[in-house]
Amino acid sequence: MSRAKSMFLAAAPLLFVALWSTGFIGTKGAALNADPFAYLTVRFTLAAVLMAAITLARRAPWPTRAQAGRAGITGLLLHAGYLGGVTTAIWLGLPAGIASVLVGVQPLLTGLLSWPLLGERVAGRQWAGLALGFAGVLLVVEGRVGGGGTVGTGAVIAALIALVCTTAGTLYQRRVGAGMPLLGGTTVQYVASASAVGLVTLARGGGAIHWNAEFIVSLTWLVLVLSVGAILLLMTLIRDLPAARVGSLFYLVPPLAVLESWLLYGERLSMVSLVGLGLCVAGVALAAAPQPSPVPARTG
């Protein structure tokens, strides 16, 4: 591995976490002003157009028919399913911070399933880190709900659907995504996602969008920074790093998202939540730390 690639893989996870955490705040800004599926139709369509333009401009390869089919499935899971669930949950009144924490259980599911499904060995230290992060997630939820928040059943179900979709999408992309053209494959993902949520929007009789300043700023940020920048980072990380290590990064997202939602929308932060956030950070540090290289046996 070249030095440049090593430096990129060292910095990319932290950059991804920083960008991904803002998605929950941007989604709240969009959900407050639009029907969730109408908004996602616009977002995915714009993202597909941008990614197609980048692919053409760079003369990057397009996926084969078989690869395109697999990319479409990944898109339906990682984009339509995950973002559809998160946006619906926030639209139904779930605080952005709580939504980020509920889907933050994803690393535990990824770690549990990556060994039987992908054959990736998860070290004891990584299991300890995943368990510590999960305990932090539970504390954050307890602190947020105990601090006076209310969590509706429909919103929680939507968030759990998002959790299942992002876990399945990460594992599926890790298993079948090798050799997938990054730019062209991501374009196909967005085309599939835009088509799916567009059909849902039509089936629901359409949806209103209030094109005010908050919605436009949120949509612009979500398309350019999240749907293009962060997603390309995620696809690269899934391709180049073990699934459990990529999954553990999602434990860092709730702390940032909760802090951002507190600063921007006044969502309260309790002392219990602060302790939980600390455990999340510690769990990621433990789970994502590189394993020491084995000492070669001496001969002679």
pLDDT tens per residue, range 125-172: 777 877 887 788 777 666 655 555 555 788 889 998 999 999 899 888
In which band, very low, low, confident or very high, does the pLDDT at 295 lie, cut at 50, 70 and 90?
A: very low
- Note the pLDDT of residue 52: 96
Residue 4 has pLDDT above 60, yes or no: yes
Which pLDDT tens digit goes with each residue over 185-214?
999 999 999 999 999 999 988 889 999 999
DSSP string, 113-142: HHHHHH-----HHHHHHHHHHHHHHHHHHH
In which band, very low, low, confident or very high, does the pLDDT at 94 lie, cut at 50, 70 and 90?
A: confident
- Note the pLDDT of residue 291: 56
HSE, side-chain direction, 13 A CA sphere, residue 103: 37
| All structural domains of the chain with their residue ranges | 7-288
Alpha carbon 215 to its chain's center: 21
Nearest to residue 56, comparing CAs of 183, 164, 161, 236?
183
In which band, very low, low, confident or very high, does the pLDDT at 75 lie, cut at 50, 70 and 90?
A: very high
Residue 102 and residue 218 in contact, taking contact as beta carbons nearer than 8 Å: no
- Note the pLDDT of residue 80: 95
Which pLDDT tens digit goes with each residue over 23-71?
989 999 999 999 999 999 999 999 999 999 999 999 999 999 999 999 9
Q: Report, as an integer, the average pLDDT of 94-122.
A: 75
Q: Report, as an integer, the average pLDDT of 237-250.
A: 75
Which pLDDT tens digit goes with each residue over 266-288?
877 678 877 877 787 777 677 66
First to last CA, the chain: 31
In which band, very low, low, confident or very high, does the pLDDT at 299 lie, cut at 50, 70 and 90?
A: very low
- Note the pLDDT of residue 50: 95
In which band, very low, low, confident or very high, does the pLDDT at 289 lie, cut at 50, 70 and 90?
A: low
Task: Find the angle CA(118)-CA(123)-CA(129) to the nearest 5 degrees.
Answer: 105
Which comes out higher in pLDDT, residue 5 or 66? 66
